[in-house]
Amino acid sequence: MERENPATAESLDPIEGDTEADVEDALALADEVYPAWSERRLEERRQLLNDAAEVLRENAEEYAELMAREMGKPIAGGRSEVEKCAWVCEHYAEYAETYLADEVLQSAPEAKAFVSSEPLGPVLAVMPWNYPFWQVFRFAAPNLVAGNVGLLKHASNVPGCAQAIEEVFLEAGLPEGAFQSLLVGSDAIEDVVTDKRIRGVTLTGSESAGRAVAETAGKELKPSVLELGGSDPFVVLDDADVETAAEVGMQARTLNSGQSCIAAKRFIVHDAVYDEFVSAFVDEMAAQDIGDPTDDDTDIGPQAREDLMEDLHEQVTETLDAGATLETGGEPLDREGYFYPPTVVTDVPRDSTMATDEVFGPAAAVFRVESEDEAVELANDSTYGLGGSVWTEDLERGERVARRVESGCVFVNELTKSDPRIPFGGVKNSGYGRELSEHGMKEFLNEKTVWVQSAADQ
């Protein structure tokens, strides 16, 4: 599998991909290992997750450097990502017993009824490059501790990350086959999804990839979870703390060099604070340091591939051609690698590219609205519904507006984020199903109803 350092445009050593025979061997091993793994004491699986957290922390610098080389993540962000992966392992190690406990139901007086949460078997995860460790661990931790086994088809530009993740679990002491990486292209996935040994599939990625996987899984009557694109609204109301909203808004747009499905992308600002917000927001965006992702002082690294940078620039250009105003940025940087500066565009026509499409890079579209109702209407005027953020000093008002936003999650006075303690996922073209917390853990479990009654009571 060919690799390229997006900060230098230099080729990295290729990594040998898996053959059809390798994939068959992996499926056979997963099927073989699953019964014994699912029957191991929960306490043992919990301890192994804690051990995986230790492995992650011990090798955090190595993994952060690997992410920087393969997809350009700034080194500080890579370290934070590894720590978050350790956290999700520890979270499920701590709470698995509670999440998996039988749920007692109402029943006849002479009987008892409960729901037992039981694993399904091997589950396939199709994961993206932008958070190459976190996206995988938020799938792996709950599924492994629940007794499922995992197979990972990672993005083709981060095969080193895929190998490293498999090694984390092996070094932690999980049996060979409990978690495996399949180093294959996207063209091999349909056959894996349809294989009878695969019991479910989860995908984080593009809308087109999600539709293809969902169609295949649906034909096979297999459960699926899709976390797809987003065009998240960042709503700044007239009573917001504008300075804080501008600072956090910059972070929400530029995290991971802007390459995040839950990044704030459409900034919807009340007329009463519009000028103040735009001024502060542009200053925050323009102040970010762009450079070598291995440098601790770098805020913004390269875009992960040249074609992605070109697509981003095309979206900005089309929006400006439609009548928008450029406040800062707007041109690829003239240097080695695929660097695009933080960009702010105002006066954005509501039918233009940056208003309607997902913008996967550090470019923000800012809209002026006259009222709370108009802000909500514009926030919901999207085919996506992943996350959202609302800014107001009135917390009751914030909760009321949050309830009106059509998305899988909304944060009041905070940027949208995924957190092991709360469910994460979208609606509309952003997908379906949930990850994380108890809700996400149970997507690939059999919620079995058990009714127990003495024959004498018949």
Please give the pLDDT value at position 383: 98
Instruction: Point out the catalytic residue in the list 4, 70, 227, 358.
Output: 227
pLDDT at 399: 98
CATH of the domain at 277: 3.40.309.10
Position 350 in a domain: yes
Question: pLDDT tens digits, residue range 23-46?
Answer: 999 999 999 999 999 999 999 999
Are both 75 and 27 inside the same structural domain? yes
From CA 235, how far away is CA 237, in angstroms rounded?
6
Q: Let me know whether 340 and 368 are in one domain.
A: yes
**pLDDT level of residue 455 (50, 70, 90 thresholds):** confident
Asked whether the CA dihedral 19, 24, 29, 30 is positive or negative, the reply is positive
Could you tell me if residue 404 is inside a domain?
A: yes
151-209: pLDDT as tens digits: 999 999 999 999 999 999 999 999 999 999 999 999 999 999 999 999 999 999 999 99
What was the pLDDT predicted at 331? Answer: 97
Same domain, 301 and 222: no
Q: In the annotation, is 85 catalytic?
A: no
Same domain, 146 and 248: no
| Angle subtended at Cα 54 by Cα 49 and Cα 58, rounded to the nearest 5 degrees | 150
Taking alpha carbons only, the member of 170, 134, 165, 167 closest to residue 152 is 165
Active site residue 261: yes
**Secondary structure letter of residue 221 according to DSSP:** T
Q: What is the pLDDT of residue 441?
A: 97
State whether 265 and 130 are in the same domain.
no
CATH classification of the domain holding 106:
3.40.605.10
Q: How far is CA 263 from CA 257, 259, 295, in A?
A: 10, 7, 23
**435 has a pLDDT exceeding 90:** yes
Percent of the chain exceeding pLDDT 90 equals 99
Number of independent structural domains in the chain? 2
In a domain, 425, yes or no: no
Tens digits of residue pLDDT in 89-118: 999 999 999 999 999 999 999 999 999 999
Shared domain for 386 and 254, answered yes or no, is yes
Q: Choosing from 85, 89, 161, 261, which is the catalytic residue? A: 261
pLDDT for res 456: 75
Task: Report pLDDT digits (tens) over 334-383.
Answer: 999 999 999 999 999 999 999 999 999 999 999 999 999 999 999 999 99
In the predicted structure, residue 457 carries a pLDDT above the cut 80: no
pLDDT at 133 over 80: yes
Average pLDDT, the chain: 97
pLDDT score for 80: 98
The residue segments making up the domain with residue 217 are: 3-228+430-450
Confidence band of 128 (pLDDT split at 50, 70, 90): very high
425 pLDDT higher than 80: yes
Assess whether 224 and 239 both reside in one domain: no
Instruction: List beta partners, residue 435.
Output: 424
